[in-house]
C-alpha cells in the first residue's frame, strides 16, 4: 500500500520505517527540513535500537521524506497523523499542531478522487478525531480512523513489530484498510469506534502511571514502618491480576507521555463536568516524590546553602537522552532554591539538561560529580550506577539518597537511604 506519514518524531519515523519493512511504500512529511534530509540519507533523527538499520535499508527505495504535503498525500492511499500533542499551559491537551497538520492534509486531498483514509496515530483525547480532525480533512471519498500507538521509547522498533495489541477505531471500510497495513504482524486487531480507540490509549497510560504512584504511596508508608516495599511489590506482583511490572517504587514517573497524557485526561474529564479524583491523586503523588528526596536530604545534612550536592542521572529513564518531565528537574530546582551547589552527571542527557539549567556544574563521570560532595541523590536507573562503590569514598560526607534503588552500600560506611525503603 502507499502510505504517507505526517510528523517524523519517535512515532512517525518508527511507523514509517517499520511499514517499509512490512513491504509498503512510505512517504514521510515533516516541517523540519533537517529531519527530512536525515531520513532521505538513511539517518535516524532519534536514538532507537534498530531504527538506523531499517532507514538505511529502505531510504530512497521504499521510504522517502519531504516537506511538501502535495507531494506525499495525493501519491498515497492512507495518511497517518503522527504529530505531537503537548500539554497546554493549563495541562489540557494542545491540539494546535494536530489542527495545522489536518488542515494541510485537507488541502492536499481536495483534488484527490480515489478513496483515501486519514488515520490519527497521535495521542488525542476522545472526540478529537471526530470533532477536530474529521471536519478539516473530510471529503467525499475520505475515510477516518484512529489507531493509537503504544510503543515504548528505547524499544520502539521491537514494540511496533511485536505489539501486544493493535487498536483501530473507525467505520468498517477505513478500519479494514488500516488492518491490511499490519498484515505480517502476528497480533489480533481490536476493532472499535473512534472515541473508544482514543480512550483506550489514555486508559492504558493512566493505568500504568497509577500503578507507579500506587507503588510509591505504599512505599512511603512502608518506609515509616521499616518494611521493604520491594519485598511487598515482588510478592503482590505474583498475583496475575496485578502483574510484576510498573511496581518499582521510587522518585516517580517522567517522560514525554505519562505526565502529559494523565493531565490531558484530567482536563477532558473536567471539561465534561467530572472530577477525576483518582487521576488527580496519581499526579499529586508523582509531584511529591522528588520533593520527598530533597526533604530526606535536609533531614540528614540540614541547611543546604553552599553545600555541594551530586545528582546522578538526569534523563527521565535509563538508555535515553530524553529529559522531558524527568524527576531530576524538580529535584535540581528545589536544591537551587535552597541554595545548594549542584554537580550533575548523566551518560547521555547532559546536553539537553544544560538548556534548562545552564548554571549547574556538569561532570564527566559519576566520580567527578561525587568528588568532595556533601551528599548524593540518585535520580536515574542507569546500569553504570549499579557498580558504583569506592567512588562514594571521594565524597566529603558519605550521604546517599537513592531514588531508583540502584546502589547498595554497606551499613557503617555512611548514610544510605532509599526514598521508599
Ligand atoms: P515528536 O515531537 O517527537 O515528533 C513530532 C514531529 O511532528 C516533529 O518531527 C515535528 O517537526 C513534526 N511536525 C510538527 N508540526 C508538523 C506539521 N504541521 N506537519 C508535519 N510535521 C509536523 O512527537 P512523538 O514523540 O513522535 O509523538 C507523536 C504523538 O504520538 C504524540 O501525540 C504522542 O503523545 C504520541 N505517542 C508518543 C510516544 C512516544 O514514546 N514518544 C508513544 C506513543 C504515542
Task: Report how far residue 350's alpha carbon sits from residue 312's, in angstroms, rounded to the nearest whole number.
Answer: 11
For ligand 1, atom 41, the nearest C-alpha belongs to 10
Q: Is 228 in the pocket of ligand 1 (CB under 6 A)?
A: no
- Work out the pLDDT band at 168, boundaries 50, 70, 90: very high
* pLDDT tops 90 at residue 289: yes
Q: Is 85 in the pocket of ligand 1 (CB under 6 A)?
A: yes
Contacts of 175 (CB under 8 A, 6+ apart): 145, 168, 169, 189, 191
Question: How far from 229 is each of 209, 218, 224, 281, CA to CA, in Å?
Answer: 18, 7, 11, 20
Contact 22, 185 (CB under 8 A): yes
* Other beta carbons less than 10 A from residue 95's beta carbon: 21
Task: Report how far residue 37's alpha carbon sits from residue 32's, in angstroms, rounded to the nearest whole number.
Answer: 9
* pLDDT tops 90 at residue 319: no
- Three-state SS string over the chain comes to CEEEEECCCHHHHHHHHHHHHCCCEEEEECCCHHHHHHHHCCCCCCCCCCHHHHHHHHECCCEEEECCHHHHCCCCCEEEECCCCCECCCCCECCHHHHHHHHHHHHHHCCCCCCEEEEECCCCCCCHHHHHHHHHHCCCCEEEEECCCCCCCCCHHHHHHCCCCEEEEECHHHHHHHHHHCCCCCCCEEEECHHHHHHHHHHHHHHHHHHHHHHHHHHHHHHHHCCCHHHHHHHHCCCCCCCCCCCCCCCCCCCCCHHHHHHHHHHHHHHCCCCCHHHHHHHHHHHHHHHHHHHHHHHHHCCCCCCEEEEECCCCCCCCCCCCCCCHHHHHHHHHHCCCEEEEECCCCHHHHHHHCCCCEECCCHHHHHCCCCEEEECCCCHHHHCCCHHHHHCCCCEEEECCCCCCCCCCCCEEEECCC
Start-to-end Cα distance in the chain: 53
Q: Is 84 in the pocket of ligand 1 (CB under 6 A)?
A: yes
Task: Report how far residue 55's alpha carbon sits from residue 43's, in angstroms, rounded to the nearest whole number.
Answer: 7
% pLDDT > 70, the chain: 100
Average pLDDT over residues 77-104: 96
- Confidence (pLDDT) at 12: 98
Residue identified by cell 500539554 is 87
What tens digit of pLDDT does each residue of 112-148 get? 999 999 999 999 999 999 999 999 998 889 999 999 9
- Ligand 1 atom at minimal distance to the Cα of residue 12: 26
In degrees, to the nearest 5, what angle opens at C-alpha 262 toward C-alphas 257 and 265? Answer: 120
Q: Is 123 in the pocket of ligand 1 (CB under 6 A)?
A: yes
Average pLDDT over residues 64-69: 98
The phi-psi region of residue 412 (left if phi > 0; otherwise alpha if psi is between -120 and 50; otherwise beta) is left
Residue identified by cell 532509599 is 418
What tens digit of pLDDT does each residue of 170-216 get? 999 999 999 999 999 999 999 999 999 999 999 999 999 999 999 99
On average, the pLDDT of the chain sits at: 96
Domains of the chain: 2-192 (3.40.50.720), 283-418 (3.40.50.720)
Q: Which residues are catalytic?
A: 257
What spacing in Å lies between the alpha carbon of 327 and ligand 1's midpoint? 22
What is the separation of C-alpha 197 from the centre of its chain, rounded to a whole number of angstroms?
Answer: 19
What spacing in Å lies between the alpha carbon of 314 and ligand 1's midpoint? 22
Q: Is 83 in the pocket of ligand 1 (CB under 6 A)?
A: yes
- Confidence (pLDDT) at 139: 81
Residue identified by cell 565524597 is 395
Amino acid at each position: 500500500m502507499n502510505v504517507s506519514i505526517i510528523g517524523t518524531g519517535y512515532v512517525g519515523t518508527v511507523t514509517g520505517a517499520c511499514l517499509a519493512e512490512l513491504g509498503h511504500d512510505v512517504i514521510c512529511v515533516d516541517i523540519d527540513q533537517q529531519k527530512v534530509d536525515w531520513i532521505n540519507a538513511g539517518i535516524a533523527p532519534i536514538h532507537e535500537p534498530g531504527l538506523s538499520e531499517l532507514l538505511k535499508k529502505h531510504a530512497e527505495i521504499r521510504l522517502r521524506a519531504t516537506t511538501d504535503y502535495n507531494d506525499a498525500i495525493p501519491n498515497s492511499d492512507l495518511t497517518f497523523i503522527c504529530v505531537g500533542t503537548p500539554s497546554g499551559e493549563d495541562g489540557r491537551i494542545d491540539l494546535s499542531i494536530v489542527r495545522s497538520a489536518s488542515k494541510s492534509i485537507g488541502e492536499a486531498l481536495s483534488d484527490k478522487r480515489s478513496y483515501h483514509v486519514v488515520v490519527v496515530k497521535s495521542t488525542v483525547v476522545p472526540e478529537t478525531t471526530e470533532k477536530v480532525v474529521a471536519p478539516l480533512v473530510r471529503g467525499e471519498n475520505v475515510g477516518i480512523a484512529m489507531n493509537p500507538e503504544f510503543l515504548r521509547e528505547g524499544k520502539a522498533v521491537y514494540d511496533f513489530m511485536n505489539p501486544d495489541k493493535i487498536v483501530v477505531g473507525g467505520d468498517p471500510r477505513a478500519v479494514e484498510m488500516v488492518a491490511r497495513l499490519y498484515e505480517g504482524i502476528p497480533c489480533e486487531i481490536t476493532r472499535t469506534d473512534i472515541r473508544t480507540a482514543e480512550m483506550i490509549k489514555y486508559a492504558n497510560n493512566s493505568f500504568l502511571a497509577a500503578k507507579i504512584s500506587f507503588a510509591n504511596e505504599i512505599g512511603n508508608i512502608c518506609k515509616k514502618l521499616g518494611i521493604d516495599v520491594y519485598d511487598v511489590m515482588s510478592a503482590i506482583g505474583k498475583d496475575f491480576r496485578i502483574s510484576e511490572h510498573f511496581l518499582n517504587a521510587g522518585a516517580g514517573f517522567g517522560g514525554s507521555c505519562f505526565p502529559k497524557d494523565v493531565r490531558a485526561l484530567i482536563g477532558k474529564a473536567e471539561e465534561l463536568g467530572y472530577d477525576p479524583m483518582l487521576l488527580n491523586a496519581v499526579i499529586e503523588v508523582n509531584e511529591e516524590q522528588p520533593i520527598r528526596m530533597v526533604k530526606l536530604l535536609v533531614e540528614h545534612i540540614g541547611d543546604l546553602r553552599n553545600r555541594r550536592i551530586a545528582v546522578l542521572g538526569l534523563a527521565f529513564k535509563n538508555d535515553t537522552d530524553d529529559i522531558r518531565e524527568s524527576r531530576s528537574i524538580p529535584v535540581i530546582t528545589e536544591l537551587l532554591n535552597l541554595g545548594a551547589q549542584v554537580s550533575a552527571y548523566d551518560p547521555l542527557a547532559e546536553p539537553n539538561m544544560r538548556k534548562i539549567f545552564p548554571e549547574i556544574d556538569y561532570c564527566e563521570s559519576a566520580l567527578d560529580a561525587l568528588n568532595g560532595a556533601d551528599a548524593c541523590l540518585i535520580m536515574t536507573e542507569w546500569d553504570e550506577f549499579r557498580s558504583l562503590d569506592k567512588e562514594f569514598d571521594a565524597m566529603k560526607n558519605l550521604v546517599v539518597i537513592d531514588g531508583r534503588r540502584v546502589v547498595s552500600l554497606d551499613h557503617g560506611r555512611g548514610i544510605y537511604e532509599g526514598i521508599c525503603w
